[in-house]
């Protein structure tokens, strides 16, 4: 079944996460994606000395793979031949390297002025740090303010999980490129579209940045001092954890929403005495006495198992979420119902479960189009489609132009 990007041709000169993840989503949506790697391969093909990097399989399905030596003029010509009738060029190489390799926007647009050229950098293409290298740990997690805001008083700053900002960026890239393609349909113009990990991180922590913009106190989370007992974590009788996200946070003291919430909440707790306690009659009073209320709630949640609390919270229309491990997530019935995962036949690994892209096109569904290609698996096929003869391909391989 054709996807929403059926007929779009994408050339990816990228590595690691942000750009490969974005192009894989495009591939799932029907785009013809060709991944260009150096002869040694994308550095993320290997992981901690192993030949299997789980993340590489997530970010590189639904595309074809070529090996090209971009330092060689003949290798550059191969890319230019692909670009001539391509719609999109994606890269997250550093700008200095792109210029040396002839893969910068000016060089690519000279071959195809209608190209949509997407580039991801650590800090942007202007300013004092435009040439600084940086992965998402530094540019998106640390410098943006996210790491600072998640640091509990007296504790070390928490580290990030691999590629979190990269994968958020991949969704921005997908949307930005789609918008540029739509604009080209109206105007006929190509476009350079820039993304950077630093800005993505700032956008992600935007509520806190706006507090700073408006001169407000920063709301740093201290688990030992709950700011709001109804937006907190609780341990159940069977040593499971749940996150409350109940509806008392924004209710004003006179707002009946707060009263309705408190009635449902105390019913779930089976604590009618709390419903009548004068210290907790309004949202404002519950906040005022939160230091008293929080220990009471901590104690209450230890009296029942997670399954029992799930029934009670749902019956009373209270928002919460289980704190799951990745192993729990892959077995979650809700994830299964919404098709979070697909299984593919991956050469060398057999059956492999992959995460589907988090966009659901109802009428024109996206799906994983093909397994993750081996290094240079489609080099000969793509070159032949560009008009190169078997003799020319063999010569370029002997000269280490392609692999």
- pLDDT over 90 (residue 246): no
- How big is the chain, counted in residues? 403
85 and 52 within one domain = yes
The total domain count for the chain is: 2
Is there a domain that residue 219 lies in? no
Tell me how far apart the terminal alpha carbons of the chain are, to the nearest angstrom: 32
166 and 234 within one domain = no
343 and 319 within one domain = no
218 and 149 Cβ atoms separated by less than 8 Å: yes
165 and 120 within one domain = yes
CATH number at residue 386: 3.40.50.10540
Q: pLDDT tens digit string along 74-91?
A: 999 999 999 999 999 999
Is there a domain that residue 3 lies in? no
Q: Per-residue pLDDT averaged across 338-348, rounded?
A: 97
Is there a domain that residue 332 lies in? no
Which residues are paired to 352 by β-bridges?
344
388 and 292 within one domain = no
CATH number at residue 314: 3.30.1540.10
- pLDDT over 90 (residue 245): no
87 and 162 within one domain = yes
User: Average per-residue pLDDT in the chain?
Assistant: 94
Is there a domain that residue 215 lies in? no
- pLDDT over 60 (residue 253): no
115 and 89 Cβ atoms separated by less than 8 Å: yes
Residues 6+ apart with CB under 8 A from 164: 136, 140, 141
55 and 155 within one domain = yes
Last residue of a domain, one of 277, 295, 324: 324
Q: pLDDT tens digit string along 100-117?
A: 999 999 999 999 999 999
Residue 170 to residue 359: CA distance in whole angstroms? 12
389 and 248 within one domain = no
- Containing domain of residue 47, as a range? 9-205+339-398
Q: Per-residue pLDDT averaged across 23-40, rounded?
A: 98
The structure tokens listed for 351 are 């059956």
179 and 101 within one domain = yes
3-state secondary structure the chain: CCCCCCCCEEEEECCCCHHHHHHHHHHHCCCEEEEEECCCCCHHHCECCECCCHHHHHHCCCCEEEEECCCCHHHHHHHHHHHCCCCEEEECCCHHHHHHHCCCHHHHHHHCCCCEEEEEECCCCCCCCCCCCCCHHHHHHHCCCHHHHCCCCCCCCCCCCCCHHHHHHHHHHHHHHHHHHHHHHHHCCCEEEEEEHHHHHHHHCHHHHHHHHCCCCCCCCCCCCCCCHHHCEEECCCCCEEEECCCCCCCCCCCHHHHHHHHHHHHHHCCHHHHHCHHHCCHHHHHHCHHHHHHHHHHHHCCCCHHHHHHHHHHCCCCEEECCCHHHHHCCHHHHHCCCEEEEEECCCEEEEEECCCCCCCCCCCCCCCCCCCCCCCHHHHHHHCCCCHHHHHHHHHCCCEC
- pLDDT over 80 (residue 247): no
Residues 6+ apart with CB under 8 A from 202: 144, 145, 209
Residue 371 to residue 356: CA distance in whole angstroms? 13
Percent of the chain having pLDDT more than 90?
88
Is there a domain that residue 317 lies in? yes
pLDDT of residue 248: 62
Looking at 11-15, 140-144, 151-155, 269-273, which range is the least confident one? 151-155
Is there a domain that residue 108 lies in? yes
233 and 173 within one domain = no
Last residue of a domain, one of 324, 348, 367: 324
Q: Per-residue pLDDT averaged across 57-62, rounded?
A: 98
Q: Per-residue pLDDT averaged across 150-177, rounded?
A: 95
Is there a domain that residue 269 lies in? yes
188 and 137 within one domain = yes
200 and 56 within one domain = yes
Last residue of a domain, one of 324, 355, 381: 324
Is there a domain that residue 291 lies in? yes
pLDDT of residue 343: 97
Residue 220 to residue 74: CA distance in whole angstroms? 54
- pLDDT over 70 (residue 243): yes
- pLDDT over 60 (residue 36): yes
- pLDDT over 90 (residue 52): no
* pLDDT band with cut points at 50, 70 and 90 for residue 228: confident
- pLDDT over 60 (residue 219): yes
- pLDDT over 70 (residue 7): yes
pLDDT of residue 254: 53
CA dihedral of 21, 202, 322, 286, whole degrees rounded to 10? -170
């Amino acid at each position: 079944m054709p996807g929403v990007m059926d007929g779009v041709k994408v050339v990816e000169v990228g590595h690691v996460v942000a750009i490969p993840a974005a192009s894989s989503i495009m591939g799932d949506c029907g785009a013809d994606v060709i991944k260009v790697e150096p002869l040694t391969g994308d550095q993320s093909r290997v992981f901690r000395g192993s030949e299997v990097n789980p993340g590489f399989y997530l970010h590189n399905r639904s595309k074809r793979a070529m090996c090209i030596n971009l330092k060689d003029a003949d290798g550059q010509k191969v890319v230019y031949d692909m670009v001539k009738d391509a719609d999109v060029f994606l890269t997250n190489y550093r700008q200095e390297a792109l210029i040396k390799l002839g893969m910068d926007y000016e060089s690519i647009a000279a071959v195809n002025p209608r190209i949509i050229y997407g580039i991801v950098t650590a800090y942007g293409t202007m300013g004092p740090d435009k040439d600084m290298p940086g992965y998402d740990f530094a540019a998106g997690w640390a410098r943006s303010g996210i790491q600072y805001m998640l640091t509990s008083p007296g504790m070390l700053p928490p580290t990030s999980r691999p590629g979190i900002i990269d994968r958020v960026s991949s969704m921005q890239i997908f949307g930005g490129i789609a918008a540029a393609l739509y604009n080209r349909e109206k105007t006929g113009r190509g476009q350079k579209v820039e993304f950077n990990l630093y800005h993505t991180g700032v956008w992600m922590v935007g509520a806190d940045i706006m507090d700073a913009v408006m001169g407000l106190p920063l709301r740093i989370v201290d688990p030992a001092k709950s700011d709001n007992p109804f937006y907190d974590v609780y341990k159940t009788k069977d040593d499971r954890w749940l996150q409350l996200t109940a509806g008392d946070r924004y209710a004003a003291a006179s707002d009946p929403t707060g009263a309705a919430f408190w009635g449902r909440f105390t019913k779930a707790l089976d604590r009618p005495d709390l419903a009548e306690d004068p210290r907790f009659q309004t949202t404002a009073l519950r906040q005022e006495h939160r230091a008293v209320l929080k220990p009471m709630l901590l104690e209450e949640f230890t009296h029942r198992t997670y399954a029992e609390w799930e029934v009670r919270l749902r019956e009373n229309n209270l928002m919460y979420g289980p704190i799951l491990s990745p192993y729990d997530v892959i077995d979650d019935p809700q994830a299964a119902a919404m098709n979070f995962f697909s299984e593919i036949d991956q050469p060398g690994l057999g059956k492999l479960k992959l995460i589907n892209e988090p966009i659901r096109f109802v009428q024109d569904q996206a799906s994983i189009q093909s397994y993750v290609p081996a290094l240079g698996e489609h080099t000969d096929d793509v070159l032949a489609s560009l008009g190169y003869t078997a003799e020319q391909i063999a010569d370029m391989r002997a000269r280490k132009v392609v692999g």
